[in-house]
Structure 1
Amino acid sequence: MDRHAGADGHDITFRSRRWVRPEDLNANGSLFGGSLLRWIDEEAAIYAILQLGNPRAVTKFISEIDFVSSAVQGDLIEMGLRATGFGRTSLTMRAEVRNMVSRRSILAIDRIVFVSLDENGSPVPHGYSTITYDRDRLPRHPAEGSGRPAGG
């Protein structure tokens, strides 16, 4: 795990790494943006599930995507996320992708919003207002409880 100050001056933790392979390339020989966005959405979903303590967290919104530079076959890239705010039913985060070796920025997304849903697919309050770095919010099996605080 590596931390550095993101474009907004706040720490971003880089938790996930990928090796750019031939099947990830576009017709120009660089990393296909769709592959990168799929990886970011998956990483953001995992982060949201852990922060909200709910396996039914879904992507609600992704702001403009700034493709700063490209990656090519063989590059090692890393993805970083940071929670920037909690709503009643949502979590907002920022994402950055960089080249692991050169540290050159590849992509930045200022806002990704996930919403916590109940078993019927309706937004549900999650009861959190701060980031956790522990495993205390890991979703539990339904028989063990929701993972949310009492009354939340």
Structure 2
Amino acid sequence: MRFHTRKWVKPEDLNANQTLFGGRVLAWIDEEAALYSIIQLENKRVVTKYISEINFMSTAEQGDIVEIGIEVVKFGQSSLTLNCEVRNKMTRETIVTVDNIIMVNLDENGKPVPHGKTKIEFVKDRLEEED
């Protein structure tokens, strides 16, 4: 799994228990899944269709740095299925896991459209192909 994004847990990210608010980390996960899918599918029109069971395993506190990892599980015809792990950057302790996040590729009318992708592509490789 590749960890692409880091977040610094700030006071506004905390719940009443003074630990990382679950809703905040879920928003981070959804945003990361969208960004990852947009880059992979080369389309800005990508939406979240489904998020499976969310497993909160530990927490984070103010000042902690967490990182979000995304991995492709499957390329569908118009979708991309991902899994995700959020962990403490310093201790590597897992905070949250999500087994399946399904992102759907849309056309300009908001309808699902095939994306034609079958494997992970890296932007650096795309740039080399253009040269």
Q: TM-score band, normalised by the shorter chain?
A: over 0.9
> In the alignment, what sits opposite 1:20?
9
> Residue 75 of structure 1: which of 33, 56, 64 is its match?
64
The one-letter amino acid of 2:91's match is: S
> Residue 109 of structure 1: which of 98, 102, 111 is its match?
98
The one-letter amino acid of 1:67's match is: F
> Residue 37 of structure 1: which of 14, 26, 30 is its match?
26
Specify the SS of the correspondent of 2:43.
Answer: coil
After superposition, where does 1:1-150 map in structure 2 within 5 Å?
12-135=1-124, 136=126
TM-score of the pair, normalised by structure 2: 0.93
1:134 CA displacement: 2.4
Specify the SS of the correspondent of 2:123.
Answer: coil
TM-score of the pair, normalised by structure 1: 0.81
* Identity within the alignment, %: 55
Alignment coverage as a number of residue pairs: 126
Specify the SS of the correspondent of 1:37.
Answer: helix
CA distance in 2, matches of 1:76, 1:55: 28
Higher helix fraction (1 or 2): 2
The one-letter amino acid of 1:134's match is: V
1:133 CA displacement: 1.6
What is the root-mean-square deviation in Å for CA atoms of aligned residues?
Answer: 1.1
Gaps of 5+ in 2: none
Which one scores higher on RCO, CA 8 angstroms, separation ≥ 6? 2
Specify the SS of the correspondent of 1:61.
Answer: strand
1:39-90 Cα offsets, whole Å, 9 max, x none, are 1111110000011111001000000000000101111100000111100000
